[in-house]
Structure 1
Amino acid sequence: MAEDSVAKKLKTSPPVIGTHNGHFHADEALAVYLLRLLPTYSSSPLVRTRDPAVLATCHTVVDVGGEYDPAKNRFDHHQRTFTTTFPNHNTRLSSAGLVYMHFGRDIIAQHVSLPRDHEDVSLLYEKLYTDFIEAIDANDNGISVYDPAAISAAGLEKRFKDGGVQLSSLVGDMNFPDPTASPGEPQDEDSLFARASSFIGHVFLRKLQHAGFSWLPARTTVGAAYHSRTETHPSGRIIILPQGGVPWKEHLYNFEKEASGGSEPDPANQVYYVLYPESATEGSKWRVQCVPVSEGSFESRKPLPESWRGVRDEELDSVLAAEAERTGKPKILEGAVFVHASGFIGGHKTKKGALAMAVRSLEE
């Protein structure tokens, strides 16, 4: 009976995860966390060692061992022969990317309660890699965002240091004892790794939460607004969203690209302005936001007129009224709220007024 109990315990024990000890990095810290998001590994113990004999006893090994063999649950990327990349990407994978490539669909499907082969799971799988995991892979493999030779040839220099605020750098700092830790809180190497793994893992979960429950539903909302844009204005340059807080930029660029057959959108068909209410409250003010030339740019495709910028309330109403009288264009309903000094966004107390501001701006 005793032997049967021991055998049963060994058979049902959670699979042991192995990684290296010593100085840790963001990639294996995230890889371990990702595995533990799955039911199979949710209570898995972690062994940190470089001893091959000990690693051989582990069910799954990441970032150490010199072997990549998913059939054997070995996920190292340090061997000279390793060249694996995520589908349709060029960045060589780290242990984080390897674990994500093999287990990411299951993690996402579980999180959003959809079948593994669902189209939305595929969209999120690609997005999470592109927006988050790939940068960790690149950092761990020493791959720069831009070609250093091209940067040097162009004579470009950084305006300030940004390494200290990068996620991989923050994880690296966690190798050292935390001076803010509570008295008696463990500061040994494994405890520091556990905190680092939890830290970067929670960032991943926030990204997944936003992508699954904000970004993904927004695709439907933005798509409807984009495909009905000529009903808003014959030019097709203005879209109206039914609520604020919708992450619209990436979706808009994608719909524009799709409309151009996958190529860069024709400038003649680009959207210039996005309108939305500030809140769900009845009678909410409305915003007119200019579409940037690219997702991360501060430059607008067509900023609001220079004469409006930095002007507010009654003064802005006066400027709009004077321009209408001078040009003979239709008057804009009173209730203008503001236009930012850079011209990238403005506001009006009403939807009708915000639309009129966008239409007038198109004509400038």
Structure 2
Amino acid sequence: MLIATHGGKFHADDAWACAVLKVLFPEADIVRTREAARIEAADFAIDVGGIWDPASGRFDHHQKEFGGARTTGVPYASAGLVWKEYGARCVAVLAERHTGQQIADDTAQQIAYAIDADVVQYLDLSDVGVARSAPGSYGLSATVSGFNPGWLDEQRLGYGEAVEAFRMSQFMRALEFLTDIMSNAVRYRVGAILAVSQVRSAESLEGGRVLFLKNAALPWSSVVRKEMPKVLFVISYSILENRYILHTVPVDAESFDARADLPASWAGLRDADLAAVTGVPDAVFCHTGRFIAAARSLDGIRTMARQALAEAEA
């Protein structure tokens, strides 16, 4: 199997698209060219060739008549075109590879939609000139662009074939980098889905105002925010650090505001200083932002939780 994309400088959108196809077809070869005959002979043509036809493996968006866009109005470039067609299949493969889980087709599709919203659409926006970079000056588009050889590399290598060989090796490094990003995104979201039932069944303390999780690694925020309006604080046990953590509950995913803050008198204190204020001998610390605190025992952190509740409800 052969994947063709354009030569010269590569961008995040064509690199992402090729990375997706390499996940699904790991034995495929990649050629970077603008020669029409080589493009026509390829099984997939990415960001080159002037045709958008998924059925024939053609994923270009540069033709004059192209008007493909998401329902949100965000235009497609090659990253989004390939992800739209193959994203769910890619998610399913990465989920089994990295979590050992075989996920349902509709779950894979929902994860693919989420990754498009979080990552892929920004690569497309950058490529079509709507956004300068995606997102920020050191966002993903800019980071991938940095894998390209610069003029100093070309001068050092003497131009010609040596530079092209180096550019191809850098392109493949960019694909590995983007595959890691995909894998991390899938692994996190599969973990979040599997964690939901555990969060829902977690022990309720202090009349339902505190939730106790036996594993601090469980992603809980979304479930608590959406389904547990009575919960003001979450206690979790960090297996890695062998301590108990008291968390505030954010009011929404994008905010540092909490349903209730930890006491102002705890802010920035550690060890003996925090123990003196709380009366908890094994108190460890409280962040200056008052959104997290810790103690070494469950009894200690529950005492701190009761104090936080008393102050929040005073």
Supply the distance in 2 between the matched residues of 1:315 and 1:21 (Cα, whole angstroms).
62
Q: Secondary structure at the match of 1:17?
A: strand
Supply the distance in 1 between the matched residues of 2:282 and 2:13 (Cα, whole angstroms).
52
Supply the distance in 1 between the matched residues of 2:275 and 2:17 (Cα, whole angstroms).
56
Q: Secondary structure at the match of 1:239?
A: strand
1:176 maps onto 2:159 in alignment? no
Give the one of 21, 27, 32 matched to 1:42. Answer: 27
For 1:300, the equivalent position in structure 2 comes to 258
Higher-strand-fraction structure: 2
Letter in 2 for 1:353: G
Letter in 1 for 2:177: V
Instruction: Report matched runs for 1:133-282 at 5 Å.
Output: 133-144=120-131, 162-163=136-137, 165-177=138-150, 187-189=162-164, 191-199=166-174, 201-226=175-200, 228=202, 231-234=204-207, 236-253=208-225, 256=226, 259=227, 269=229, 271-280=231-240
Alignment length (residue pairs): 302
Supply the distance in 1 between the matched residues of 2:306 and 2:287 (Cα, whole angstroms).
17
Give the one of 286, 311, 316 matched to 2:274. Answer: 316
Q: Secondary structure at the match of 1:108?
A: helix
For 2:66, the equivalent position in structure 1 comes to 82
Letter in 2 for 1:143: V
Identity of aligned residues (%): 26
Whether the 8 Å CA contact 1:177–1:192 is kept in 2: the answer is: no
* Alignment CA distance shift 1:192-1:272 (3 Å): farther
Whether the 8 Å CA contact 1:108–1:124 is kept in 2: the answer is: yes
Give the one of 328, 332, 341 matched to 2:288. Answer: 341
Q: Secondary structure at the match of 1:99?
A: helix
Give 1:127 shift: 2.8
Give 1:304 shift: 0.7
**Alignment root-mean-square deviation, CA:** 3.2
For 1:329, the equivalent position in structure 2 comes to none
Give the one of 249, 252, 260 matched to 1:291. Answer: 249
Give the one of 342, 352, 362 matched to 2:299. Answer: 352
Deviations 1:25-67 (A, max 9, x none): 111112112212223x623241411x43442232221112222
For 2:95, the equivalent position in structure 1 comes to 112
Give 1:300 shift: 3.3
Give 1:276 shift: 1.3
Whether the 8 Å CA contact 1:109–1:121 is kept in 2: the answer is: yes
* Alignment CA distance shift 1:116-1:93 (3 Å): farther
For 1:325, the equivalent position in structure 2 comes to none
Supply the distance in 2 between the matched residues of 1:17 and 1:38 (Cα, whole angstroms).
12
1:65 maps onto 2:49 in alignment? yes
Letter in 1 for 2:142: S
Q: Secondary structure at the match of 1:37?
A: helix
Q: Secondary structure at the match of 2:284?
A: strand
Supply the distance in 1 between the matched residues of 2:75 and 2:195 (Cα, whole angstroms).
35
* Alignment CA distance shift 1:25-1:193 (3 Å): farther
Letter in 1 for 2:232: Y
Give 1:111 shift: 2.6
Whether the 8 Å CA contact 1:303–1:343 is kept in 2: the answer is: yes
Gaps of 5+ in 1: 1-13, 146-160, 260-264, 322-332
Gaps of 5+ in 2: none
* Alignment CA distance shift 1:55-1:219 (3 Å): closer
Whether the 8 Å CA contact 2:51–2:63 is kept in 1: the answer is: yes
Letter in 1 for 2:105: H
Q: Secondary structure at the match of 1:175?
A: coil
For 1:151, the equivalent position in structure 2 comes to none
Supply the distance in 1 between the matched residues of 2:264 and 2:300 (Cα, whole angstroms).
18
Q: TM-score, structure 2 length as denominator?
A: 0.81
Whether the 8 Å CA contact 1:31–1:62 is kept in 2: the answer is: yes
Supply the distance in 2 between the matched residues of 1:239 and 1:81 (Cα, whole angstroms).
55
